[in-house]
């Protein structure tokens, strides 16, 4: 599986998870610091909705365009620069997940780390 394919698969998993949180699934212990058991409060559900509807889908588009799998003519910042931004973003996520007090949230650490590696591979291929 290519780095881009793996990254897209992981981003889709994160998108579904964030959408479930936004819709009120009782998975709060696995997100946002793990402070909330069960359903997230409204503000964090809204933030999860933004992740599911904007952040992760945009990341998917940039991965696909930067890897040359889809045409992104005119997409600002596509290419290695965008991938290095995602490397930084997912590195922060990896760190945040690793230091979480919630063992459930720490589960996401390898997912974030895999995204760091995938985005770095795509960036270096440019």
Q: pLDDT tens digit string along 46-71?
A: 999 999 999 999 999 999 999 999 99
CA 108 to chain centre: 10
CA dihedral 97, 101, 102, 105 (to 10 degrees): 0
Contact in structure between 48 and 31 (CB atoms under 8 Å): yes
Tokens of 53: 């509807």
Q: Is 32 helix (H, G, I), strand (E, B) or coil?
A: helix
Range of the domain at 52: 3-125
Q: Identify the pLDDT of residue 91.
A: 98
What pLDDT, on the 0 to 100 scale, is given for residue 78? Answer: 81
Answer whether residue 17 shows pLDDT above 70: yes
Segment 100-123 mean pLDDT: 95
pLDDT of residue 77: 80
Which whole number is the average pLDDT over 31-46?
95
Predicted confidence (pLDDT) at residue 1 exceeds the cutoff of 80 = no
pLDDT at 33 over 70: yes
Q: How many domains does the chain have?
A: 1
């Amino acid at each position: 599986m290519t780095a881009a394919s793996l990254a897209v698969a992981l981003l889709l998993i994160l998108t579904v998870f964030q959408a479930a949180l936004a819709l009120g699934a009782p998975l709060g212990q696995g997100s946002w610091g793990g402070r909330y058991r069960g359903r997230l409060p409204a503000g964090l559900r809204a933030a999860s909705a933004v992740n599911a509807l904007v952040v992760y889908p945009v990341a998917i588009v940039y991965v696909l365009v930067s890897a040359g799998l889809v045409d992104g003519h005119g997409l600002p910042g596509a290419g290695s620069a965008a991938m290095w931004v995602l490397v930084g973003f997912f590195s922060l996520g990896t760190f945040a997940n690793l230091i979480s007090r919630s063992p459930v949230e720490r589960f996401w650490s390898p997912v974030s780390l895999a995204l760091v590696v995938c985005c770095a591979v795509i960036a270096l291929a440019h």
